[in-house]
Amino acid sequence: MEHIQSLIGPDYQLQWVVGTGGMSTVYLADDVRNQREVAVKVLRPEFSDNVEFLSRFRNEALASEDIISRNVVRTYDYRELVDPASGRNLCFIVMEFVRGESLADLIARRGMIPEEEALDILEQAAHGLRRIHELGLVHRDIKPGNILITQNGTVKITDFGIAKAASSVPLTRTGMVVGTAQYVSPEQAQGLDVTFATDVYSLGVVGYELLTGKRPFSGDSSVSVAIAHINNAPPALPTSISAPTRELIGIALRKDPTHRYGDGAELEKAISAARLGKRPPQPSGAARVVPAEASPTAVTAVASAVTGTSSASAPAVHPRTPNRPIPQSQIVEPKRSSSGFLVGFLIAVVVAFALAAGTVLYLNSQSFQPEPSVPPAPETVTITPETTPEPIPTITMTVEPTTSAPPVITTSEAEPTLPPISSVIVEPSEVIVPTSEPEPVPTVTLEPTDPTTNPGASQ
């Protein structure tokens, strides 16, 4: 600590270490010029030495100085120095020192928090997010460890800016990502762009943990937990929690960010309604179209985030959910193209040729006047030897008769089969294995069968 003190200078007198993390070490210090206690957060050298990270973090740290809210830890100062002994960068932030404990410590000490107290914590945190979002900024790392509670119950969000800078730069350490995988939003886990709704999701996970004493998703690794955030629905909250609060958390944890509350201000209003026992309002963006679910390539994005490798080259893919029906708009050709016109033209030519051929054959066979036949009912299959037609070749051109038209006439010369205009291939999402032997396919016979031998008679 003496070496760090010599680098920081006389403006801040370090007292002792109050916390360590995967990215920084936090000291309690005295602000000599302003006569106040402060927290000095010194970034680890491997982060400070990364030029791209340092540039992004500098911008975020300077922007956080403009966030003034009772529910956000103030940022007072930011400095970059060079250690003459090692030649490495030393980057540190001077922040408001909060006497109290983190929300993570509160949950570890008390477990499940009563609903009214949990909603009060969430509403204060949402108020802090409101101020952050009003400045056009996204926290990106909302979790119990970054939410502090003072001795008088005031909630303060801290560690603003670090996660955003680190998420854009491949780093060798994984402490930051491992620590936040339990609260990561689906879009973050897939490496997609984040919005204010990203912070809403993370705070929803915090609320779930406050109310139940456990996180909605768990797994053997950070990757499996992040994938669960992408694909799995959280377990339902117990009915001992009020219906307004259950719906509030459910909306905040929706996979689609356009179906969540859009920002901290909208979330704060919803929490206030739930505290009054009213049903929380629906998000303003709830009418927008739901995008496709996460794709298998999202697993690669999650693994890249956890291992610290770059995933910028992996495009985000949004395939259709296998069990979701295909909209009619995707079956009918949505817009005309030159190829579609050509196919239609060819079909028209073939139909015209078929009609012409049928007319010629009809004139040559006027001596044959068949009696009009009535098509059988769909439920009845009747085959008589007198009217059994000859087997139709594989490639034929057939003119269907009407009540006044000649019988079916097959040309001697086969025409090529045209390719289908369009096709929709739906790959099954799962293989269904029958639990019992399938019923045999009934056969069509000329004589009625004995009901006692009918395989379906016993069913």
- What single DSSP character describes residue 386? G
Backbone angles phi, psi at 112, to 5 degrees: -65, 135
- Is the residue at 144 inside a domain? yes
Structure confidence at residue 70 (pLDDT): 95
Annotated catalytic residue 141:
yes
Same domain, 121 and 263: yes
Catalytic residue among 31, 66, 105, 141: 141
Contact 354, 410 (CB under 8 A): no
Give the CATH number for residue 307.
1.10.510.10
- What b-and-e string marks burial along 157-176, b requiring 16 or more CB atoms within 10 Å of the CB? bbbbbbbbbbbebbbeeeeb
Same domain, 128 and 140: yes
The C-alpha atoms of residue 406 and residue 398 are separated, in whole angstroms, by: 12
With CA atoms as reference, report the closest residue to 399 among 359, 445, 448: 359
pLDDT tens-place values along the chain, 459 residues long:
888 999 899 999 999 999 887 778 999 999 999 999 999 999 888 887 788 778 877 877 787 888 999 999 999 999 988 888 888 888 899 999 999 999 999 999 999 999 999 999 999 999 999 999 998 989 988 999 999 999 999 999 988 655 555 555 444 344 344 347 899 999 999 988 889 999 999 999 999 999 999 999 988 888 999 999 999 999 999 999 999 999 999 999 999 999 999 999 999 999 999 999 999 999 997 434 333 333 333 433 444 444 344 333 333 333 333 333 334 333 333 344 444 444 455 555 555 656 655 554 454 544 444 444 444 444 444 444 444 445 544 444 444 444 444 444 444 444 444 444 333 333 444 444 444 455 555 554 445 545 444 454 444
Give the CATH number for residue 84.
3.30.200.20
With CA atoms as reference, report the closest residue to 421 among 348, 325, 326: 348
Structure confidence at residue 358 (pLDDT): 57
10 Å CB burial of residue 137 (0-12, 13-18, 19+) is: buried
Quick one: how many helices (H) and strands (E) in the chain? 15, 8
28, amino acid identity: L
Same domain, 192 and 164: yes
* Degrees, nearest 5: CA angle 218-219-220: 145
For the entire predicted model, the pTM comes to: 0.60
- Is the residue at 203 inside a domain? yes
The C-alpha atoms of residue 180 and residue 415 are separated, in whole angstroms, by: 65
Q: Which two tokens stand for residue 203?
A: 């705070």
Look up the domain containing 160 and give its range: 99-312
Task: Among 29, 62, 97, give the residue marking a domain's end.
Answer: 97
- What single DSSP character describes residue 436? S
How do beta strands 100-102 and 89-96 pair? Answer: unpaired
Same domain, 7 and 121: no
Same domain, 142 and 288: yes
* 41 annotated ligand-binding residue: yes
Same domain, 183 and 80: no
